[in-house]
Amino acid sequence: MSGPESHGSGASLAKTITAPLLLLLVVGDILGAGIYILVGEVAGELDGAAWLGFTLAFAIAAASAASYAELVTRFPGSAGSALYANEAFGRRGLTFVVGMAVMLSSLATAATTTRAFAGDYLAEFVDLPVVAVSLGLLAVLTVVSIRGIELSAKVNVGMTLVEIGGLVLVLVIGGAAIVDGGGDAGRITDFSSVGPDALLTATALAFFAFLGFEDAVHLSEEVPDVRRVFPRVLFGAVVIASVLYLAVVLVATTTVDPAVLAASDGPLLEVVSTGPLAISTRWFALVALVAVTNTSLFALVAASRLVYGMATDGSLPRPLARVHSSWRTPVTASLLVAALAAVLATTGAVEDLATAAVTLLLSVLVGVNAAAATTRSRPEAEAAYRAPRVVAPAAALAAATLLTHQLATSSAAEWLRLGALMLIVALAWLATKARPRASTGV
């Protein structure tokens, strides 16, 4: 890397993300790894009624997206959820914890998806050690992230178009199999496996497939006319992703036995290899690898912007706010995020890391939805987007219910991983609590 760097007070992030580009970025991040790797996990809980878990996850995501739309138009800033917590509650400790929880959730997402990259989809081509593949992919994507938001965005858009094409291919092949008399449509109306515990577990797993809409707010400093653009983009992205998800889940559970889906790390491979239009699983595996990579890239970009935003304010060490004068990206923050994601990627399997990501994000969503409800009467809210008053409290309650279930059913290993992540938060807080706060911002 060459070229000078400057702190956040010198060079600023480039405003190069247009509304169409942001929509593709968010759609691509949501559509990525979740639907390609977790359909089987959800089917393992609810059998043919897996669509119900995705429907409930969509409802929570849409309601929370409304709160994010309100808050980003009231308080634009790359610190995102941490900024909203500060504006609503004014507690430095709470603000710090929220910001770190979001960052760690993004890291868990990146770790999850880079490990998923090395699963059944990559095995269609070559068998390599999971950890080595994960670390190598993290290194490559970090270089892309540092090189510039325009490059990251262009790579993301290309991968988004590929992954949308992949899901359409699943629908076409699965649909042809159904028309040809294959599968069992009765599975989707079989609710024999739907109990409270299974439904909550499945909804939490499905919710991982919707992660990404919340990351978009960390790019707000790089979007012109953020107050007009963000609400439309957030809702548009969540709706587009949800329509594709539900269609894919319905087709997958109709054409393939849910038990077969649940046993596979690449469940959609089972769909494209059935029926009269079946194709080589290698072609589809390539598409799935692109989708998983896309989610990893966006998670790394979003996490680095959050760290940059907190460092600019002084909540994290100032060197993390350095912006490359030519590339206009937070280089030091990006390197730290990559290093932490690499460590996390060595600690567990895909489902374990996905569970950690969801648990962290659900805790954040409780606070973000509460912040949206709390700040409705502020002067800033007059010019901002407003959702119906009941949406934010309902979303907070739903997130709290899922979070409580997640914690109550966590294994000892999952508690240990969460404890280690909280230790990182505690150490970072101890290292920065004596640092004077900036006069503005978080």
- Mind listing the pLDDT tens digit for each residue in 319-352? 887 876 666 778 888 898 888 888 888 887 777 7
Residue 298 has pLDDT above 60, yes or no: yes
Cα–Cα nearest to 191, from 47, 11, 397, 38? 47
- Report residue 395's pLDDT band, with 50, 70 and 90 as the boundaries: very high
Structure-token match 């983009």, residue found? 233
* pLDDT tens digits for range 88-106: 888 888 888 888 888 888 8
Of 159-173, 374-388, 394-408, give the lowest mean pLDDT range.
Answer: 374-388
Distance CA 2, CA 11 (A): 16
Predicted confidence at residue 14, as pLDDT, reads 60
Predicted confidence at residue 416, as pLDDT, reads 86
Distance CA 215, CA 103 (A): 9
Choose between 71 and 215: higher pLDDT: 71
Rounded mean pLDDT, 379-399 = 85
Choose between 76 and 407: higher pLDDT: 407
Rounded mean pLDDT, 199-208 = 90
* pLDDT tens digits for range 215-268: 777 677 777 777 778 888 888 888 998 999 999 999 999 999 999 998 887 888
Distance CA 166, CA 180 (A): 21
Predicted confidence at residue 178, as pLDDT, reads 92
Percent of the chain at pLDDT > 90 equals: 24
Predicted confidence at residue 145, as pLDDT, reads 79
Which own/partner pairs from 259-264 qualify as long-range (CB within 8 Å, at least 24 positions apart)? 259/43, 259/44, 259/47, 261/39, 261/40, 261/43, 261/44, 262/40, 262/41, 262/43, 262/44, 263/40, 264/40, 264/120
**Count of beta carbons in the 10 Å neighbourhood of residue 124:** 18
Q: What homologous superfamily is domain 14-432 in, according to CATH?
A: Amino acid/polyamine transporter I (1.20.1740.10)
Residue 429 has pLDDT above 80, yes or no: no
* pLDDT tens digits for range 4-13: 344 444 455 5
- Report residue 381's pLDDT band, with 50, 70 and 90 as the boundaries: low
What is the token pair recorded at 27?
């759609």
Choose between 362 and 319: higher pLDDT: 362
Measured in degrees and rounded to the nearest 5, phi and psi for residue 434 equal -85, -5
* pLDDT tens digits for range 410-419: 888 888 888 8
Residue 50 has pLDDT above 70, yes or no: yes
* pLDDT tens digits for range 127-179: 888 889 989 999 998 888 787 666 666 777 787 888 888 899 999 999 999 99
Predicted confidence at residue 433, as pLDDT, reads 63
Predicted confidence at residue 3, as pLDDT, reads 41
Distance CA 32, CA 436 (A): 40
Q: Which residues pair with 5 in a beta bridge?
A: 324
Predicted confidence at residue 202, as pLDDT, reads 92
Predicted confidence at residue 173, as pLDDT, reads 94
* Domain spans in the chain, listed from the N-terminal domain onward: 14-432
Predicted confidence at residue 7, as pLDDT, reads 43
What is the token pair recorded at 386?
């407003």
Distance CA 105, CA 305 (A): 14
Predicted confidence at residue 249, as pLDDT, reads 95
